Amino acid sequence: MTISQRLKQVPDSYFGKTMGRKIIHGPLSLVNMAVGIPDGETPKGILDTFAEALYIPDNQKYGAFHGKEDFKRAIVDFYKRHYDVTLDKDEEVCILYGTKNGLVGLPTSIVDPGETVLLPDPGYTDYLAGVMLADAKPVSLNLEPPDYLPDWSTLSKETLKETRLVYLTYPNNPTGSTATHEVFEEAVNQFKGTKTKIVHDFAYSAFGFDHKNPSILQTPDAKDLAVEIYSLSKGFNMSGFRVGFAVGNKDMISALKKYQTHTHAGMFGALQDAATYALNNCDDFLVQQSDTFKKRRDFFQTQLDDAGIPYEPMKGGIFIWIATPTGYDGEEFVEFLLRDQSILVAPGIPFGENGRNYVRVSLALDDAQLEEAARRLKTLAPMYKNNI
């Protein structure tokens, strides 16, 4: 097999190898609760804008590598309107062809081989790939239940001194935990004046149930050391469009833009026009998205409570982090659920060692499917008696 040693050492992407595969399940109809994207349709105005933009001659040609002025202005206006954060559209904004490209490409852009990068455990699976492709050194940032927030005092002074990049992600994928302004203030103050930078993955920003999710850039001095990566996939139901952006620290943005000039040749203009419309016109839709998933959260957690099935409180995002019964790790429980209940969920193990005895359950289903999934899971209550 022809493959570089660098790429060979990177674990296979969990979702890359599982999405689209044939699912073998038990006799019941399959309920897919492993999906990491909201289930609704893209708003009509976004689709209409995209369709019309296809016929604009300039959109059928190469565009500016770093994006249209209207799109960058829409990003700036969106952050000012939602977070009261002022951005420079030329120096503090980087358009991304899907936020995963930015999250994976950032270590190569700003970290040297052998330098330390702190990765949340549990946290999104592909952060590790970006670190390994940069020949950097991944170190776990241990997050513990029920809040899954960083405790900087648990890290040695040597580790903190050697760290060049920290990944944070709130609402957290996979646990559904959220951060407050104070959490970001602690992070910024911990690394202010050092060589350490922070990247905050804000993919599930729209989904905050107990309070609106804050931006790390609202923290004083955050732009001195942090960037935030925002996705249009989840809040706007635009996952297939592959559009996002990074905002914040101008040096990090500059490095990421340089990296992209060698890996991409500019985003399709019609996509930018659709994204511009979304940012400028769909604030109410973001509220509806959050309300929808809050109702689902309230219903599903009540069902789990009734059955005595343990889980971590879901404060944001679209996932519930459910503990496995005694005697099962996450992967074993995934296979059991498929075989016994025809329910597909994601194991916690790919998200870090702290996910070994959990599964990630998506609420991106319609009401009928969600009710059916809850009914089936409640029949497993006897399996959890030994967990108490």
pLDDT tops 60 at residue 19 = no
Backbone phi and psi for residue 122, each to the nearest 5 degrees, phi listed first? -85, 155
Per-residue pLDDT, 101? 92
The amino acid at residue 337 is: L
pLDDT-based confidence at 16, cuts 50/70/90? low
- Domains of the chain, each with CATH number or no CATH: 5-42+287-387 (3.90.1150.10), 61-283 (3.40.640.10)
Q: What is the pLDDT of residue 27?
A: 87
- 251: closest CA among 51, 103, 71, 111? 111
Distant-in-sequence, close-in-space partners of 138: CB < 8 Å, separation ≥ 6: 117, 119, 128, 131, 132
> pTM of the prediction?
0.94
**Mean pLDDT, residues 326-352 taken together:** 95
Helix (H, G, I), strand (E, B) or coil at 282: coil
Note the pLDDT of residue 1: 72
Least confident interval from 10-19, 306-315, 328-337: 10-19
* Cα→Cα distances 387→174, 272, 273, 328, 349, Å: 21, 50, 52, 11, 19
Mean pLDDT calculated for residue range 265-289: 95
- What is the gyration radius of the CA atoms in the chain, in angstroms? 21
Band of pLDDT at residue 20, cut at 50, 70 and 90? low
The contacts of residue 44 (CB under 8 Å, 6+ apart) are none
Mean residue pLDDT of the chain comes to 94
User: Residue 264 — very low, low, confident or very high, per pLDDT cuts 50/70/90?
Assistant: confident
